[in-house]
Amino acid sequence: MLAGALLAKPIARAVKHHAEAAALAPAKTKPAPVIRHRKVVVAAPKRSRSQLGVLVLNGNGRSGAAGNAASTLSSLGYHIRGTANAKRQNYATSVVMYRRGYAAEGARLARDMHVQVVGPLDGLSASALHGGQLVVILGAR
């Protein structure tokens, strides 16, 4: 019993110290997830610009934006299949989309227009392209 009385005070101090240290320690957090961007290497284009049909859609709401872009693309040699408004007018950035088999040509069109977002057709059917192979949706940037 005497040993228990002698050890009780140091044990209580140690438990108190440990509890304070745990309460004041910085919270343990999970590290932020790592986001890895993939850079896809695309082969060289097989078709010239004049062999490609491009549909230009205005997705930024500015009047005449599609017509201006179509004029620029036409001067580069692209065959313009049409201009129209996109289904929505709140695209933050411009997008180039391509039909299956036209990835290299889509990448070239994106470089010509300084567009960073390129991908396969999404949300548009091939018949909506009016015989074209590529689509540009103009965004705010």
Domains of the chain: 49-138 (3.30.70)
- Residue 7 binned pLDDT confidence (cut-offs 50, 70, 90): low
- Residue 64 binned pLDDT confidence (cut-offs 50, 70, 90): very high
Measure CA of the first residue to CA of the last residue in the chain; give whole Å: 81
- Name which of 125, 80, 138, 137 is nearest 99 in CA terms: 125
| Residue 113 exposure: Cα atoms within 13 Å on the Cβ side | 34
| DSSP one-letter code for 76 | T
Give bridge partners of residue 53 from the DSSP assignment: 79
DSSP string, 18-41: HHHHHHHSPPP-PPPPPP------
Question: What is the reported pLDDT for 125?
Answer: 81
| DSSP H helices in the chain | 2-24, 65-75, 103-113
